[in-house]
Amino acid sequence: MQDDAEFFKMVSDYMSNGMLENIISMFRQDASYYRMIPDLIADERVRVRLGTTALVEDLAREKPDSFKEIVPEIGRLLESENLTLRGDAANLLAIISLPECRPYFERYKNDENADIRSIMLEAITEMDGRN
C-alpha cells in the first residue's frame, strides 16, 4: 500500500493531466478518498482546483452525505488569507450544501470579499428554497 503523500501526489497529478473521469471513478469506489478534497482544492494548479470542483459537483449529486466529515476542513479554508482558496472553499460548500454547511454560509455571508458574500448568500437562498 502506498503512503498517503504518494497517493495524493498521484491523484493530484492525474487530475492536473486531465484524467478527471479516472479520479471520479476512484472516489465512487472508495469514499475514504473524500478526505483528500480539502488538499486538492488548495493545490496551486488551476487544473487541479477546477477538477476538484467538478469532482465534488459530480459526487454531491450521488452521495451528498458522504461529504459530512470534510465540511469542517473545507470550512477552515475560509479563514485563509489566499482569496482564491477562500473562494474555492466557499464554492465547494455551496455545491455540497448540506445542513452542516449552513454555519459557514451564515458566518461568511457578510465577508469583506464581494464574491464570497455572493456565494454564501446564494447558497442560503438555495438552501431555504429547498426547505
Cα–Cα distance measured from residue 118 to residue 125, given in angstroms and rounded to the nearest whole number:
11
Domain range summary for the chain, segments of one domain joined by + = 4-130
- What whole-number distance in Å separates Cα of residue 88 and Cα of residue 41? 7
CATH 1.25.10.10 fits 4-130, yes or no: yes
Tell me how far apart the alpha carbons of residues 37 and 123 are, in angstroms, rounded to a whole number: 20
Task: Note down pLDDT in tens along the chain; length 131 residues.
Answer: 357 899 999 999 999 999 999 999 999 999 899 999 999 999 999 999 999 999 999 999 988 899 999 999 999 999 999 999 999 999 999 999 999 999 999 999 999 999 999 999 999 999 888 76
